[in-house]
Structure 1
Amino acid sequence: MTAARRFQRIIATTDFHSAFDDAVPMLAHLHAIRHDSLVVDCGDFFEGTGYYRLGKGAVEREILTTLYDVLAPGNHGWPHYSEPGLREMTVSANAVDDAGQPLFDRLRVVEVHDRRVAVTAVIGVSAFHTIPAGQRAGHHVTDPVIALRELMLEHHHHVDSWIVLSHSGFDEDIRLAGACPFVDVIFAGHCHSDTYGPVHVGDTLVVKGRELAAGYAAAEPVGSGWAARTAVFPAPTTVPDELAAVDEEIDSIGRMLATPLGTVDEPYRDAILDRRRLLQDVASRLHTGLGADAVILNDTALRPTRLGDVLTLGDLLAIEPFDNQLVHALLPDRYADSPDSLLSA
């Protein structure tokens, strides 16, 4: 895929989360610049909207294999990175199996502006443990700092620069930069914070592109070091011919998501969803309708989506995009009179 291209820079996206409502600028720009740019992603390309729920990740896979060169696995959509076609593109220095063997290639060495550049990735320990247990069975993560130091000792003799794609959070990456001063650039992901950088930690740059298809981060060799920046995706004029089939599939799913389901109740109409209020209403209905003695709900399972006066399928899947389920469990007698103790049990 990359043999005929001469890379001048690295372009990094992160936390796309299947945000196809606003993806055309991203797709068009990546297509336009990839002829001389190594295009990478820092994780969580999958999951987060009805496009993923209905499309099962097929459109995301097509985009990744068409526009990208190197991937870091994120906690969302973790199983996809082991699929044929994506596995070969994925790198990780600290994801291992039960035997301690790497789950993915540990690094990729590419030439960027006449420098031999090692591109690797790490996933933060806390990020890894948010992956559903069934999806990460037999998988483990090691300390990112130790993993990167070991990798550097093995390969420092034949690379000039080190680039890390991190799915850990910006604050974690600041600490990572301090512990691994040999790294030139850390492209951050996972945190969805308002901090984008670039931030200097010694000679290391930490930078993050805007999430949800809004922007990207870029880094390129300058003098004896590196320069980094962030940018938003410019508005495109047309969708590239190479992406026409993908664009049609996105439009098809978009039409399904526009299906009306009913009228939005007055308290929620024409406003950003109040998650706590909705869950209180759900809990009340479970108490009165099912006779539940105790209801435990997590408001972070819902997204604060803006609603109009008509609820669409897309609205519903945007509010709860991760296919969570309510579990109705029978409580032991000892909890019948004091269900609050479940919270500390």
Structure 2
Amino acid sequence: MSNDVHSTILSCPSFLNRLAELRAQGFLIADSGDFFEGTAEYDRFLGVPEILALQGLYDVIAPGNHGFDLYLRLASDEAVHLPIVNSNLAGWPGPRYWIDPSGKYLFTGIIGRQAFSSIEPRNDRLSFIEPLDTLQVIARRAIASGLRLIVLSHQGFQRDVLLSQQLHDRGYPAVIFSGHCHSETNYWPHPNPVVKGPELGRGFASLDDRGRIVVESLPLGGDEIAPHPLVSSYVKAYRTVIDSEPSLEIEIDPDVAEDRERFTGWVVDKLAALNPTGGAFLNRGSVRESLPSSTHITASQLIRVVPFPNELEIVRLSVEVEKAMQVLGELYGESLIQVGGGDTYVTTTFLGGRLSANSILRSTRPVNQFDLRSLIRQELSSTRAAT
């Protein structure tokens, strides 16, 4: 089981390769949400390589709040043969649960209230139901059918520990694979086990038929590792983009590098300098997790620090972009709050993502919209022909 991969599959080739090995060994492959968004890879290819990987390697997945519109479109598309399960969103177009072909496991997905609230204003066709209410119904079905209940949860580890106890108190056994919160704790054994793998394509968690749970971390790096065939053409294209960026190495004041909040503001300034006609949009979580704690930073490292669409960020804006964001803020009901003086603001990255200047890759987002279904079918056909 993976969780919170956040579109890192092109820069972490060992991740898909290891999943392919496990699948060949007979493991079912599942994901607890947030497979999309959070890197320049997603900005560049709009989730297509991730969709290819999900359809080619995964058996069942649950939606997360990041990339939710993609999950919704895929779950609504009869041509996509991948169960995207959720049991606590009324109106969800995909299945509420999935039973594996061996008849041993029943998988269902849930999303937490906080995660859903970040996408709710733009998805008024769906409504939230408390996970415990729906899980009790599905747990009874699993027990009646002699199936082991697997919950793919996207509400955060602490909430899943509470849910584990609540299910146990009502007599429902389950294994909860957790996602969403990026917590340091990855395993809670009792009364019902809660487990999650390392985020950002750095590993996963597994459960065998004997009930043994393993959390596996993968080595970092990857240029020397051959990418999985499903995404190899995208890896090549992505590396071409990285290599085409200016050769740049910026020295960082050591005092700034040690203070991550100051470092965040410093990176915003550098991004703004590289794209002076637009704005700089930055995910502060990515600064913590993706950038090295060193006194130098390269352009390719800056490229990786791109925003999620519903997390607070710092922005540096030109006058023209500021005016556009004010209008968009009123349109979407999102906040744009000026902090301090000058042109520094705090907003949500959903609002920032409505503009084209959300990273130093000025050409990351294609101008023309495309037919997602046709593109996926075309890519799958060419991949099958190549392999």
Q: TM-score range by the shorter chain?
A: 0.7 to 0.9
Contact 2:53–2:230 at 8 Å: present in 1 too? no
Give me the whole-angstrom Cα distance separating, in 2, the residues matched to 1:17 and 1:126.
18
The aligned residue for residue 303 of structure 1 is 287
- 1:57 aligns to 2:44 (yes or no): no
State the one-letter code of the partner of 1:230.
V
Give me the whole-angstrom Cα distance separating, in 1, the residues matched to 2:22 and 2:285.
36
Give me the whole-angstrom Cα distance separating, in 2, the residues matched to 1:142 and 1:228.
29
Q: Secondary structure at 1:176's aligned position in 2?
A: helix
Give me the whole-angstrom Cα distance separating, in 2, the residues matched to 1:238 and 1:310.
24
Which of these residues, 84, 87, 108, is aligned with residue 93 of structure 1? 87
Q: Secondary structure at 2:287's aligned position in 1?
A: coil
State the one-letter code of the partner of 2:12.
A
Contact 1:262–1:310 at 8 Å: present in 2 too? no
- Residues 139-194 of structure 1, C-alpha deviation per residue, up to 9 Å, x if partnerless? 22210111101222345322421110111111111001011121321111111111
Equivalent residue runs for 1:146-225 within 5 Å = 146-181=133-168, 182-197=172-187, 199-202=188-191, 204-222=192-210
Contact 1:13–1:216 at 8 Å: present in 2 too? yes
Q: Secondary structure at 1:201's aligned position in 2?
A: coil
Q: Secondary structure at 2:301's aligned position in 1?
A: helix
Q: Structure 1 residues 59, 178: CA separation in 2 closer, same or farther (over 3 Å shift)?
A: same
- 1:29 aligns to 2:13 (yes or no): no
Give me the whole-angstrom Cα distance separating, in 1, the residues matched to 2:268 and 2:238.
28
Give me the whole-angstrom Cα distance separating, in 1, the residues matched to 2:67 and 2:125.
16
Equivalent residue runs for 1:191-340 within 5 Å = 191-197=181-187, 199-202=188-191, 204-222=192-210, 226-233=211-218, 239=226, 243-244=228-229, 246-261=231-246, 263=248, 266-267=251-252, 271=257, 274-279=260-265, 300=284, 303-304=287-288, 305-306=291-292, 311-312=298-299, 314-322=300-308, 328=322
Contact 1:170–1:188 at 8 Å: present in 2 too? yes
Tell me how large the CA RMSD over aligned residues is: 3.7
- 1:104 aligns to 2:90 (yes or no): no
- Residues 276-308 of structure 1, C-alpha deviation per residue, up to 9 Å, x if partnerless? 45537969xx9xxxxxxxxxx997476342377
Q: Structure 1 residues 260, 187: CA separation in 2 closer, same or farther (over 3 Å shift)?
A: same
Q: What 5-or-longer segments of structure 2 have no aligned partner?
A: 273-280, 327-337, 341-345, 347-387
Normalised by the length of structure 2, the TM-score is 0.66
Q: Secondary structure at 2:152's aligned position in 1?
A: strand
Q: Secondary structure at 1:256's aligned position in 2?
A: helix
Q: Structure 1 residues 73, 309: CA separation in 2 closer, same or farther (over 3 Å shift)?
A: same
Give me the whole-angstrom Cα distance separating, in 2, the residues matched to 1:252 and 1:281.
26
- Residues 41-82 of structure 1, C-alpha deviation per residue, up to 9 Å, x if partnerless? 111111111111001111101111110010010111111112
| Structure with the greater alpha carbon radius of gyration | 1
- 1:144 aligns to 2:131 (yes or no): yes
43-52 vs 300-309, which deviates more?
A: 300-309
Give me the whole-angstrom Cα distance separating, in 1, the residues matched to 2:108 and 2:3.
15
The aligned residue for residue 378 of structure 2 is none
State the one-letter code of the partner of 1:120.
T
149-158 vs 169-178, which deviates more?
A: 149-158
State the one-letter code of the partner of 1:14.
N
Q: Secondary structure at 2:153's aligned position in 1?
A: strand
- 1:124 aligns to 2:108 (yes or no): no
- Residues 234-288 of structure 1, C-alpha deviation per residue, up to 9 Å, x if partnerless? 7999648xx33522311211220233347565446895784445537969xx9xx
The aligned residue for residue 15 of structure 1 is 4
Give me the whole-angstrom Cα distance separating, in 2, the residues matched to 1:52 and 1:177.
33
Q: Structure 1 residues 133, 24: CA separation in 2 closer, same or farther (over 3 Å shift)?
A: same
Identity level (%): 27
What is the deviation of 1:118? 0.8
Which protein has the bigger strand share? 1
Size of the aligned set, in residue pairs, is: 300
Contact 2:202–2:219 at 8 Å: present in 1 too? no
Q: Structure 1 residues 170, 87: CA separation in 2 closer, same or farther (over 3 Å shift)?
A: farther
What is the deviation of 1:89? 2.0
Normalised by the length of structure 1, the TM-score is 0.74
Contact 2:55–2:81 at 8 Å: present in 1 too? no
Give me the whole-angstrom Cα distance separating, in 2, the residues matched to 1:95 and 1:121.
10
Give me the whole-angstrom Cα distance separating, in 2, the residues matched to 1:234 and 1:319.
20
Give me the whole-angstrom Cα distance separating, in 1, the residues matched to 2:90 and 2:8.
29
Q: What 5-or-longer segments of structure 1 have no aligned partner?
A: 1-11, 287-296, 331-337
